[in-house]
């Protein structure tokens, strides 16, 4: 794309950090002919996170929930440059972002200039500094995490199968523990139990009966964002399905074979063969570095933004969306990040008009009040972001799901097998591409007729 527009005004550079829900939603809706658009992300694909908990046990194949960034960029009306790199540091004064390639065979580091920057780097899993978590557990955030969990499950099962039934090591290896009763932990525990009961039970009937799935949650109940009736339904189902729920139990320490948790005044040790850690989000390094540079950024929960998604303290040149931000009432969900991306695409269209008007004014070198009022009118057209909450859904196992839906002011709640069908159709509708939709539908059909593929 030319560096200038036909009228001679410069084309501004818009750098988007990330290729997740927020960044991709922005990219898909952005008029990319208006800017030099540059996307920087260490991940050259978009990941459909809602179905990630289904992947370690093979309900859904990993390739079914990814979409290459380049294929998304290719469909944009204007040119989009993609760098497979990680943003290390942002300089809000000189408007540069330092990036480093992730490809070690083609290593580079450079300072990239921007006129506008959108931070959509998401968050990283939090450990609350609990000793031993990083070394001994697996998170469930990325493709590599799902692969690691699958490998650990299969290895544990095979090792246990070679030991005598009376060997205590066998029972430890067959103890699968999930920490964190938010939706990630709940959905994964449910998928794991399904796999053991529906698939493993067919070819290792005796061993499958010895497997324990435990979910540990610090609060008095799981799934705190759902209505109490749905939480009770999920907890009752977990009891029936033999998912051992340890509530009001806060993990304090993790070693190679056990977690140590505090329940009331007691400290208990729970052995594990596989440990999955899902206790929520913490800011990434690049966001923390940015917070340190701006006096106004005084929250440890995320980047503070205003109602137009502008980074507070960055004077209009930096925007942030999704899990890297903290704004009261907006939760770190795909739904929020997606709507924010759509909103920012509209903002950038308006900003382009504003910048064009400012450039024309500067060319005329006039203080024409009419031109100034046109500028004010354009600026006032950028309305604050308005989030429309559609509700929350979660898979809870045995082909059952819960739904806490919001339609306008009305609330609808449902749970069970019919809700599971709704859950499936809602996620198919949310997919980023037709290709993903087909592959996911095929995976579900395959599991229905042939069971899960549990090979590593
Ligand atoms: P992400 O989607 O995490 O994207 C961040 C992007 O930034 C990634 O591409 C990453 O590679 C890139 N990045 C990281 N570091 C850098 C860097 N230094 N420089 C440049 N780029 C960088 N929400 C729902 O609403 N419904 C659900 O059912 C649901 N299920 C979920 C299931 C799981 C297992 C998980 C983990 C989350 C789920 N969520 C769900 C939450 C949802 O995934 C997040 O809220 C959403 O991904 C946030 O979007 P984002 O764009 O802010 O971040
Ligand atoms: P979360 O923050 O929602 O839940 C983490 C849970 O871990 C909390 O209930 C917390 O009490 C518990 N916890 C924290 N420290 C603990 C400890 N030491 N011992 C025991 N328990 C501990 O995290 P998440 O489930 O990873 O979800 C992250 C975000 O992604 C949330 O906003 C969530 O809504 C969203 N998400 C949504 C869906 C969905 O809508 N189906 C699915 C997955 C994630």
* ipTM of predicted complex: 0.98
- Can you give the pLDDT at residue 250? 98
User: Cβ contacts of residue 215 below 8 Å, gap of 6+?
Assistant: 177, 178, 181, 185, 186, 189, 222, 238, 243, 244, 245, 246
User: H helices within 273-333, ranges in order?
Assistant: 285-293
| Candidate from 110, 121, 432, 440 with most ligand 1 atoms within 8 A of CB, to mutate | 121
What pLDDT sits at residue 453? Answer: 79
DSSP 3-state percent helix, strand, coil across the chain (nearest 5): 40, 25, 35
- CA-CA distance, 18 to 45, in Å (whole number)? 10
What are the average pLDDT values for consecutive 10-residue runs of the chain, which has 456 residues?
A: 88 98 98 97 97 97 96 94 97 97 89 98 97 98 98 97 96 98 98 96 95 98 96 96 95 98 95 98 97 93 97 95 97 97 98 92 76 86 95 96 90 96 96 94 96 77
How many whole angstroms from 181 Cα to the centroid of ligand 2? 6
Pocket test for ligand 1, best of 26, 49, 396 (most atoms within 8 A of CB): 49
Atom of ligand 2 nearest to the CA of 225: 34
Nearest ligand to the CA of 45 is 1
Pocket of ligand 1 (CB under 6 A): 17-23, 40-43, 49-50, 52-53, 86-87, 120-122, 140-141, 184, 284, 286, 322-324, 332-335, 337
3-state SS, residue 247:
coil
Nearest protein CA to atom 32 of ligand 2, as residue: 332
Nearest atom (ligand 1) to Cα of 86 = 19
Could you tell me which residues come within 8 angstroms of residue 300 by beta carbon, excluding any fewer than 6 positions away? 283
Ligand 1 pocket test, pick from 54, 334, 431 with the greatest ligand atom count within 8 Å of Cβ, gives 334
Q: What separation in Å is there between the alpha carbon of 79 and the centre of ligand 2? A: 38
Atom of ligand 1 nearest to the CA of 47: 2
Choose one of 122, 139, 192, 287 to mutate for the ligand 1 pocket test, by most ligand atoms within 8 angstroms of C-beta.
Answer: 122
Distance (angstroms) between ligand 2 centre and the Cα of 125 equals 10
Q: Apex CA 256: angle with CA 250 and CA 257, to 5°?
A: 75
Q: Which residues contact 47 (CB under 8 A, 6 or more apart)?
A: 20, 65, 66, 142, 143
CA distances from 437 to 66, 441, 447 (A): 11, 6, 16
pTM of this prediction? 0.96
Check if the beta carbon of residue 60 is closer than 8 Å to that of residue 195.
no
pLDDT score recorded for residue 409: 81
Yes or no: say if 108 and 126 are a contact pair by the CB < 8 Å rule.
no
What's the confidence (pLDDT) of residue 247?
97
375 CA distance to ligand 1 centroid (A)?
Answer: 36
Spell out the residues 6+ positions from residue 384 whose beta carbon is closer than 8 angstroms to its own.
307, 308
Q: How far is the CA of 302 from the centre of ligand 1 (A)?
A: 14
The Å distance, Cα 98 to ligand 2 centre, comes to 31
Predicted pLDDT of residue 456: 61
CA of 325 to the centre of ligand 1 (A): 12
What is the model's pLDDT at position 369? 76
Q: Cα(323) to centroid of ligand 1, in Å?
A: 7
Q: Give the per-residue pLDDT at 454.
A: 67
């Amino acid at each position: 794309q030319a560096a200038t527009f036909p009228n001679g005004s410069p084309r501004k550079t818009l750098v988007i950090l990330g290729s997740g829900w927020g960044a991709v939603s922005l990219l898909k809706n952005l008029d990319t002919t208006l800017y030099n658009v540059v996307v920087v992300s260490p991940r050259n694909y978009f990941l459909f996170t809602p179905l990630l908990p289904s992947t370690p046990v093979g309900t859904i194949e990993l390739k079914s929930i990814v979409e290459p960034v380049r294929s998304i960029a290719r469909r944009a009306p204007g040119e989009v440059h993609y760098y497979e790199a990680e943003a290390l540091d942002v300089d809000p004064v000189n408007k540069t972002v330092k990036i480093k390639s992730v490809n070690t065979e083609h290593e580079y580091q450079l300072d990239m200039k921007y006129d506008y920057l959108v931070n959509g780097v998401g968050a990283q899993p939090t450990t609350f500094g609990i000793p031993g978590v990083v070394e001994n557990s697996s998170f469930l955030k990325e493709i590599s995490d799902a692969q690691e969990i699958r490998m650990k499950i299969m290895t544990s099962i095979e090792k246990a199968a070679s030991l005598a039934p009376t060997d205590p090591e066998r029972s430890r290896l067959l103890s699968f523990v999930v920490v964190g009763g938010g939706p990630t932990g709940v959905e994964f525990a449910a998928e794991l139990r399904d796999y053991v009961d529906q698939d493993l039970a067919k070819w290792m009937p005796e061993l499958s009966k010895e497997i324990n799935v435990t979910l540990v949650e610090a609060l008095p109940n799981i799934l705190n964002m759902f209505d109490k009736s749905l939480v009770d339904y999920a907890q009752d189902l977990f009891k029936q399905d033999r998912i051992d729920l340890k509530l009001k139990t806060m993990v304090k320490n993790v070693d190679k074979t056990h977690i140590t948790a505090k329940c009331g005044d007691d400290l208990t040790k729970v052995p594990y063969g596989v440990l999955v850690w899902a206790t929520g989000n913490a800011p990434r390094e690049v966001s923390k570095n940015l917070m340190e540079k701006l006096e106004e950024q005084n929250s440890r929960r995320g980047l503070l933004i205003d109602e137009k998604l502008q980074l507070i303290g960055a004077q209009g040149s930096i925007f942030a969306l999704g899990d890297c931000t903290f704004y009261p009432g907006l939760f770190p969900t795909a739904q929020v990040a997606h709507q924010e991306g759509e909103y920012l695409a509209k903002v950038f269209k308006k900003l382009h008009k504003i910048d064009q008007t400012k450039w024309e004014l500067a060319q005329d070198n006039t203080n024409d009040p009419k031109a100034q009022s046109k500028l004010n009118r354009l600026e006032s057209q950028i309305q604050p972001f308005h989030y429309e909450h559609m509700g929350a859904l979660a898979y809870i196992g045995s082909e059952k799901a819960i739904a806490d839906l919001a339609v306008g002011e009305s609330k609808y709640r449902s749970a069970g097998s019919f809700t599971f069908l709704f859950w499936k159709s809602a996620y198919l509708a949310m997919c980023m591409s037709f290709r993903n939709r087909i592959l996911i539908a095929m995976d579900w059909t395959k599991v229905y007729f042939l069971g899960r593929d549990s090979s590593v």
